[in-house]
Structure 1
Amino acid sequence: MTEAQPGEHPEPAAPDPLRVVVVDDHELFRRGLRLLLEQEDDISVVGEASDGRAGTTLVSEVLPDVVLLDVRMPQADGIEACRAIKEVAPTIKIIMLTMSDEEADLYEAVKAGASGYLLKDSSIDDVSHAVRVVAEGQSLISPSMAAKLLDEFKEMSRRSAAAEIPSPRLTDRELEVLRLVAQGLNNREIARRLVISENTVKNHVRNILEKLQLHSRMEAVLYAVRENLLEIT
């Protein structure tokens, strides 16, 4: 090992790998996903479970950064497990993995606190990218599913007949950012659209979540539509 010479700065240490738990009742899929993810230098699979109840227990013990969670499982399905995990550790990011592209499943996953939603036919690159994106605090959903989610939001808004409740006031810029989040844009795309820095977008999103007392970008959109804070046309 070469020692640093006087006046030289040592190279910064590589960040710790993202710690991931995989929860799926199909052993072949679960083990295959683990093997593939562990080929990534910045991702480490720290545990796996075969049902929602066992997955919730495991997550509470190892406290990973990200959980990959199947929607359909015995002993508490993925939606139930998502809610339970969020109660135990609200900061853990959850990506739902499913064969289903049904709007109802997607909608329930968002309400439960999921930060991502991927179909099981996604490539391993898509999955590893999703792990990195949600670990940074962003949400990830395929464009086709985002469109379905927006349809569900619009329908929910039309059905809503509840009395108006005073809501936290968002600035015009925050509403602008929220509209773009609702269209499925990530921070970089929003920054380009509004001609501002990506860090500024992150700050706006953080302020929106704090004001609404929510945990994810998708929850913020859901709340905003329900409370008539914006219109999605």
Structure 2
Amino acid sequence: MVVDDHPMWREGVARDLGDRGYRVVATADGVGAATRRATATTPDVVLMDMELSDGTGATATAAVLAASPRSRVLVLSASAERDDVLDAVKAGASGYLVKSASIEELVDALEATLRGEAVFTPGLAGLVLGEYRRMAAAPPAQQKPGATLTERETEVLRLVAKGLSAKQIATRLTVSHRTVENHVQATLRKLHLANRVELTRYAIEQGLD
């Protein structure tokens, strides 16, 4: 689903993705429309602008994920302002691209988002990790009851916190990409976390970075 308050941009992105084999199940111009259409279509990925007709992209992200918990939100915005990026991530966005990205970069980001990876325009990943480190300066969160990770899961978690992609982790550990994904999914379940962004924050809080 493509959510943007500019009709030409919204339809242009939808058309470009359709031309590349993606099925765009819905488009929307605001928080209300995005929430209703996410409920009806449960999209795999939602491309989200930060300036909408009736609210912010952060508000829409939270509402869409509440309506369709299995969806993943990738922000595509003209803004690279710190507050916008952090608001989007805190609302549950899996990644954040600026609109200067090429269609090839967007497609790569979509595929990474589908794999459950956190994707950011260069420079923004450091901003997000820096904020999590600042938040982690407070007393560390207690590990959730029953969340006992294996040695390999902890090793994968540490590499996720360093910002490595699943493919890079697979190369580093000499295992398959699927094996890494299985470890990540198992860790998410054990820690009751929703996505890799929350996983990264948890790892930093636990001093695994």
Q: Which runs of 5+ in 1 are unaligned?
A: 1-20
1:32 aligns with 2:12: yes
In the superposition, the TM-score normalised over structure 2's length comes to: 0.90
Larger Rg: 1
Percent identity of equivalent pairs: 38
Counterpart in the other structure of 2:171: 192
**Equivalent residue letter for 2:89:** V
Q: Secondary structure at the match of 1:214?
A: coil
> What are the superposed Cα offsets for residues 100-119 of structure 1, whole Å, 9 maximum, x if unpaired?
22333222222222122111
User: 1:187-226 maps to which residues of 2 (within 5 A)?
Assistant: 187-225=166-204
The answer to whether the 8 A contact 1:110-1:219 is kept is: no
**Equivalent residue letter for 2:121:** S
Aligned length: 207
Q: Give the C-alpha shift of residue 231 in structure 1.
A: 4.2
In the superposition, the TM-score normalised over structure 1's length comes to: 0.81
Greater than 4 Å deviation, 4+ residue runs: none
Q: Secondary structure at the match of 2:43?
A: coil
Counterpart in the other structure of 2:108: 129
Distance 2:29 2:186 in 1: 37
Aligned CA-pair RMSD = 1.8
Counterpart in the other structure of 2:58: 79
For the structure 1 residues 72 and 223, does the alpha-carbon distance in structure 2 shift closer, same or farther, using more than 3 Å as the test? farther
Distance 1:126 1:223 in 2: 28
Q: Secondary structure at the match of 2:128?
A: helix
Counterpart in the other structure of 1:170: 149
**Equivalent residue letter for 1:145:** L
For the structure 1 residues 169 and 101, does the alpha-carbon distance in structure 2 shift closer, same or farther, using more than 3 Å as the test? farther
